[in-house]
Structure 1
Amino acid sequence: MARENGGAMFYLEHRFYGESIPTSDLSTRNLATHSSRQAIEDIRQFYNWLRTSEFYSKSKLVLMGCSYSASLSMFTKQIYPNMVTAVYATSGPLLSTFDMYQYMEVVTSYIRRVNPQCNNIIMGAIQTMESMYLNGQKDRLHQLFSVCRSSQVQEPLDRAAFFLRFIYHFANMVQSASSTVTSQCQRLTNAQGTTNLDKFVSYFAVPANQCTSGVFAHHPPGFLNTNKDQSSRSWLWQQCNEFGWFITTAGNNQVYGSSVRPSMHYALCRAVFGNAGQSDAQLNAKVTATNSNYNVNPGKGAGLKNIAFLYSSDDPWAPMGYNMLPNSQTRMLRIEGGGHCADMSSSSASDSASMRNAKNTARALIKQWLQ
């Protein structure tokens, strides 16, 4: 695309990720300047610096990204509409919320389509496990699933951490549109045991001399580690202070129980960043303020133009983005099948017809908007 339009491509690294960390560590105090708004200013400064070169003095700016980088590209267009000529965004969430319940509903729908029996086993096993957890059989569950011992008890974080292990397992497969969904669901349905729980235990078994995470104290360790290389802590900071985008099981159309609720994520933010004095409402206010800051309004859109927004029908992130842009000057390009950021690779003979059409349409739009 860049070659077709006589352009050059630059990869910008977001502050507080990779090598672009301006502080000695990722302590809560040092993360104060870690925000999407500051990242937008970094983009602006880079573009202004680039244009001091005679070679780029008249260059137009097209931003491109997938997932959060797609969101950031669109937010930059919102703040500096005259600076950014166009945006190629794929799989970008826009609506900020602590309760991203739609994610697991998409996962459920996908697996139901691939293997209905797999979905039924998941639902039955999770229901049994939640009943056991609530009836004082937490230790028995930890024994069945080889959870590593911990002297720390932190509820409701421990309960959520236990169930997130299973949720993330299936969610990650669907998000990547991996072909392993079919094979793994077949493995689950063929697992040993007569009950759904038996099959779950067999499927998730680990070697006898090993244990696995299942309480907050070791899920995941990067959250509490303030070393500069802990990108998981850096991303959690943005989730807690700007976006939310936490997976929950609060939706009605999913089979993963009810143990992972927004309240768990409020508690997580307080536990990691020491915001003990902040109520659920205060934390939620930070995230909802992001929608106001970037003019994201459910049903009304974000008021953007010259956006080529691509999304895949099977991407669990899609509900947080595609219905935020009902605008005649923004093109929504739906790709049948495929997962998160599925169209970011170069065009190839293996692309589906839907994928090929979406890519070609986006390329034509970018060329048009640059004229």
Structure 2
Amino acid sequence: MSPGLAAAAVTVARVAAAGATGADETRRLAPDVVKSLVEAGFARHFVPTGYGGTAGAFGELAGALATVGEECAAASWSASIAASLGRMAGFLPAEGCAEVWQEGPDALIVGSLAPLGRAAPAPGGWRLSGSWPSISVVDFSDWALVRAAVPAPGGGRPALRCFVIPRSSYRIEDTWFNVGMRGTGSNTLVAEDVLVPERRTFADTDLFAGRPLPSTAPCHAVPLSAVNGLFFAAPVLGAARGALAHWSAYATEKIRTAPAATGGPGLSRTHYAGALARSAGEIDAASLLLERAAEVADRGAEVTSLEAARNTRDASLAMELLVAGVNRIFGAAGTGGHAVTGPLQRFWRDVNAASSHVGLQFEPAAHAYAAQLAQRPA
């Protein structure tokens, strides 16, 4: 991780820590937290250099996200969304990129790849309508990137395209009332008959394959499957580390004072030592999996289909390890550790809520990985 992003992440973490409880209560980040993560460079991290961005590395981003996540998973998740959607917008034609970043590379872009919209050809572009739920940090957005079905030429099965629309073109419905990741403010975005010029749309196949139009940077030339899970798992790695750090002082005190064995109520020091060592090991193992995934992603167009599938597998497997580690920590924390006034219950809720994301499910990742292996020459 570059010194600049590393230092910026520490600052964002400090600001986010101060606002974490409030974000959980109000179901959205405080404006100063969003301002901090944008000023730190998360939104511009993958923006092409021709528009003032960094066109940065995945390893840099993953480390920075984990740092922020140790204090507030919602802030880290939001920072990840800002970086991820900034990267996706880089697949626009050059004229579209110039429009999106005409005021600088720190435009906050949010969005969803769920194909929940529909668009019809119109003079100069498309008419777009749709409703996309669970759009993180949407209340602070400048632009949104969404995916919609379009008529196939000559009939047949509809194709899918990505559309980038300005804040003035959509409204937000307050629908985010989840038990975990509450501070992400993941409300619903609604667009109604929005005219989108051709310069602000592109085929989703380019994004999935890693075929950007104006950019040659490695961060844009990598297939989406090689990086998508990394965006979602890195904030959770930070949250798991935060949970472990919070619980470790309690655990080490129990290891020092608890009896070596018990014949009745109560837990032995062996129980606490086992929980501490196993959870710490699972979190370390997840970190190593994500570190390799980032190293692979940073090779850009050189990433093979098998490596991309392995990255998806590793991100989902890392997620399972993180959930197991945090759940064990929470179970061993005792009633005092479950207090709503403490951060452990928030880390626990956030990690488990994040694990339900469609991009982090192990079974489809396993099938994709097995399919790639089956294509290898005997």
More helix by proportion, 1 or 2?
Answer: 2
- Structure-1-length-normalised TM-score: 0.28
Higher relative contact order (CA 8 A, sep 6+): 1
